[in-house]
Structure 1
């Protein structure tokens, strides 16, 4: 379908997931998959914008004309609510800015699964789509949950009306702080094709800020309440489920 009109935006968040949809999130541990992401404490991060309790930084990436970004936020939502949002494969359209389609596909489990998502781009730029592998890990001792979202473009056939993003690495870190959660989102995406500089720069700042603002609101919805994190006897995160189920 071709776009019409001078400019068309939809209301990520996200991810990144998801991340564009997510672009579309801390330095990854040895078990992580975001090897191409800069470390959370790397030198060179430059603060680009602050809004409410959200700060967005960018940093140059070697062998790429696109910067990586880091967003830090203290969200007024418990980690259980936020993880309830994250395990919903359709939640991208609720919180990731400009995400218009998202669903899970293939076989997978809580720790390792696949999702497809679409990011609406302003006319006349062609929409981008993502095929993402999502890996989740956490442990009871720290309370933290980490999600890696990495582009795996060949897992699904391409559409001639969309541009497939073949390089996107995202890492989300969720750190519980009482009834609130600190979230750190690192991402580097090469959206493919020719994009104007003004659009790329606005995406790097606007997507994480608008997405995180939306995520805080979405996590307060009734359908994301009364969830709990489930751990195995060794303290490894195994699932997120509604209490009593």
Structure 2
């Protein structure tokens, strides 16, 4: 097998892998200019979600809304409390508490956020759960795992916003609630953020 053939086969393999990965995401909601996709994660009972939309807003205003951690419950789905714990360079740590329907116990989480600015003007914020950053709170179940990101990509006079997360809420969560959350969380969060961002 010559070098050219090996290169072509390698390229074909990469394309097949990328196609398979892309096929894993399935569109479950497309409404109000927001698309929500879900993906099964091997070894996990909980699906990952990806929400995508575009916003008529400039980057400074969008970042200002994201950076105002204490006020973010105005647009984050099911959020009852959020506060900044620490900020250091391009890293920050935030505590969040979330409402859940009775009889499920409310959840809280601690997430480390790393912000990276790319040369093309886009911004990526990587989310990583750090469940043991603070002691557990009485009456709350700590979210045991969070992995995800936000991306903000300029598209002409708009910004494309992608919000993707896979988490394990910890404890016992009914299947109906888990299945509802992974759709409602990205949709309502993006809708709320867009409404605030586009206010005149």
TM-score by length of 1: 0.70
Q: How many residues align?
A: 181
Equivalent residue number for residue 126 of structure 1 = 105
More strand by share: 2
Please tell me whether residue 196 in structure 1 is matched to residue 174 in structure 2.
yes
Q: Pick from 83, 91, 94: which aligns with 1:115?
A: 94
**How far apart, in 2, do the equivalents of 1:110 and 1:217 lie?**
29
**How far apart, in 1, do the equivalents of 2:83 and 2:55 lie?**
25
Flag the 1:137–1:88 CA change in 2: closer, same or farther, 3 A. same
TM-fit CA distance, 1:175: 0.5
Equivalent residue number for residue 196 of structure 2 = 218
Higher relative contact order (CA 8 A, sep 6+): 1
Of structures 1 and 2, the larger Rg is shown by: 2
Unpaired runs of 5+ in structure 1? 1-38, 223-245
Please tell me whether residue 50 in structure 1 is matched to residue 27 in structure 2.
no
Contact 1:113 1:135 in 2 (8 A): yes
Name the SS for the 2:189 alignment partner.
Answer: helix
The runs of at least 4 consecutive aligned structure 1 residues that moved more than 6 Å come to: none
Q: Pick from 158, 161, 164: which aligns with 1:183?
A: 161
**How far apart, in 2, do the equivalents of 1:136 and 1:171 lie?**
10
**How far apart, in 2, do the equivalents of 1:180 and 1:109 lie?**
29
